[in-house]
Chains A and B, each alone.
Chain A
Amino acid sequence: MRRRHIALLAAPVVAVGLCAMLPLMLDPYGLGIALNLLTWIALAESWAMFSGLSGYISLGHAVFYGAGAYVTVLLWQVVPLWLAIPLSGLAAGLLALALGWPCLRVRGPYFVILTLGVSEFVKYIVISSEAALGRNGRLLIGTPSLAVLFESMLAVAIISMIVLYVVRSSRLGAGLLAIREDEVAAEAVGVNAAALKLVTFTLSALIPGVVGGLMILRSTYFEPLQAFNPTTSFTIVTIAILGGSDEVAGPFLGAVLLVLISELLWVRAPEVYMIILGVLLIGFVLFVPEGLLGRAQRLLTPAKS
């Protein structure tokens, strides 16, 4: 029993250690893929913290990602990066607080559509204001190296996983799961649904803000249509469907699968890449609705006699 505990603790530490050494082992192309993977893990885990636990499917992550990128760009060479990146996360959180206030009053498909609409709305505000300022894209020169960005993203991805784990097993997590199952019944046992949803929605926006800030340093070029691209949200939902479950391992597996498939297809079949991805997604919804983790758990649980 004790030996098992040590193994359980040691495994992640060794894994993180190995990951941290990847910049020494991989070429820039390989490291780029690894960074991409960490990005999606960080985003999907933070998304699951709100949407996975509460059942409110948000398409708002793209706007928090974009806001983080925008703030980092605005603060570029104004404040040091170690301050700009956390501030980007904070700004995304504040934006979530402001957007969540009206959006969280509706449920189900209305909430999904509203988050998408509001995200697009914010995107076009940024586009217009950039146009009004006469800025046609912003270039960042002298951004940190790929290795530095990789190590930072590794830290963010780990934090994102830990936060999901902690929230899920906390009092807050219990309340969110109750809201997901039945909001009226949850309120009847004392859960202040409105407050819990708003707090969690805000918390879950911090990570995409930071991720957006880091990734704009990678691309070195800010263009609102790109930074606020709603595909970010759609990809996160795809990862959630592939991985299944609201546990930490779900979004992780989903991200690994998606990045793996994307890379394979991207190289070998660039023309039909999106089509195959779409078919795969439909296949998962139809035949593996519980996702990879859900299916694995079902197969591993011995049937009760």
Chain B
Amino acid sequence: MTLLRLDNVGKSYGGVVALRGLSFAIAPGEIVGLMGANGAGKTTAFSLIAGTQRPSSGEIWFEGTRIDGKPAYAAARMGIARTFQIVRPFGGLRVLDNLVVAALYGHERKHARSVAQDRARQILDEVGLSRDVLRPAATLTLAGQKRLEIARALATGPRLLLLDEVLAGLTATEVVEALEMIRAVHGRRNLTLIVIEHVMRALTQLCGRIVVLHHGEKIAEGSPSEILGDQRVIDAYLGAKLR
């Protein structure tokens, strides 16, 4: 069974090709890593799946429905949630209200505000933001805002969650804590994850499978150990043998 399938997806901006013929499929419950150097097309792939941008070619299917070309809000309502690499909190709103909007409008679409608030508090507990519920989101630390990105995405009640470098910029301790949190969040739900990350150890620990992009093309796909041993990946991305 397939949750998400990309068929020969391409994206170009004028003459610049950001993504070329990308195909992969993901089963429900999987955690898949998306790896590649800066500019390899990782975030572009996310934007196409989440509907922020429209592919130039190819098809994207989610739960048996073709979704490429659908707007971002429609993708969110179907159950695709994303975080942003550069955090985009609703800064002037309280942390709680950041999640309440997501609960009201997302995939689960809670209709009563009180129900949405209960759900929001529960998720804030889960990601470790329960002390900051009533603070304006803009006053959170970077680590806090990264957690808020995940929390807000979770509040939509997604089937598929796209995590775009949620560990970048965190200290070593924060990375360990965040990894634990992500694993717990995944374990507690029937959730599928696609993870973009530069922290290699995080990717290999978290993901069952990794897709490697290079200059907009997929050059490898497989388990973490296969990827780390793949000569093309080593040449293109890692530069030197890791082990």
- A interface list, Cβ under 8 A from B: 169, 171, 174-175, 177-178, 180-182, 184-193
Contact = CB atoms under 8 A, between A and B. Distances in A.
A188 B50 contact: yes
Given A182-B88, A182-B90, A188 B101 contact: no
Nearest to A187: B72
Contacts, number: 82
A304 to B, nearest CB: 10
B84 interface: yes
Interface in B78-92: 81-82, 84, 88-92
A187 B111 CA distance: 18
B52 A175 contact: no
Contacts of A190: 73, 76-77, 102, 105-107, 109, 156
Interface in B94-121: 97, 100-102, 104-107, 109, 111, 113
B93 interface: yes
Given A171-B113, A185-B84, A191 B101 contact: yes
B101 A177 contact: yes
A182 B137 CA distance: 12
Q: 9 smallest A-B Cβ distances: which pairs?
A: A181-B90, A190-B105, A190-B76, A189-B102, A185-B88, A187-B72, A190-B106, A178-B101, A192-B73
B155 interface: yes
A237 B88 CA distance: 28
A174 to B, nearest CB: 5
B152 interface: yes
Contacts of B93: 177-178, 181
Interface in B20-68: 50, 52
Between B52, B88, B91, B152, the greatest number of chain A beta carbons within 10 A of the residue's beta carbon is seen for B88
B73 A187 contact: yes
Given A181-B92, A182-B88, A182-B90, A189 B155 contact: yes
Interface of B: 50, 52, 71-73, 76-77, 81-82, 84, 88-93, 97, 100-102, 104-107, 109, 111, 113, 152-153, 155-156
Nearest to B78: A190
Contacts of B52: 184, 187-188
A188 B84 CA distance: 10
A245 to B, nearest CB: 11
B72 A188 contact: yes
Contacts of A169: 113
Contacts of A180: 92
Contacts of B107: 190
A263 B101 CA distance: 43
A38 B186 CA distance: 55
B118 to A, nearest CB: 15
A189 B81 contact: yes
A contacts with B: majority SS:
helix
30 contacts: A171-B105, A174-B113, A177-B92, A177-B93, A177-B97, A178-B90, A178-B93, A182-B88, A182-B89, A182-B91, A184-B52, A184-B84, A184-B88, A185-B88, A186-B90, A187-B71, A187-B72, A188-B50, A188-B76, A189-B81, A189-B101, A189-B106, A189-B152, A189-B153, A189-B155, A190-B102, A190-B105, A190-B107, A190-B109, A191-B101
A31 B178 CA distance: 64
A6 B101 CA distance: 31
B190 to A, nearest CB: 19
B97 A174 contact: yes
Residue of A184, A189, A191 with most partner-chain B CB within 10 A: A189
B84 A193 contact: no
Contacts of B100: 174
Given A181-B92, A181-B93, A182-B90, A187 B76 contact: yes
A296 to B, nearest CB: 18
Contacts of B104: 171, 174-175
Given A174-B97, A185-B90, 9 more contacts: A171-B104, A178-B90, A178-B93, A188-B52, A188-B76, A189-B81, A189-B155, A190-B73, A191-B101
Contacts of A187: 52, 71-73, 76
Contacts of A175: 101, 104-105
A187 B50 CA distance: 10
A188 B81 contact: yes
A190 B72 CA distance: 7
A192 B106 CA distance: 10
Given A174-B97, A178-B101, A188 B109 contact: no
Contacts of B89: 181-182, 185
A186 B153 CA distance: 11
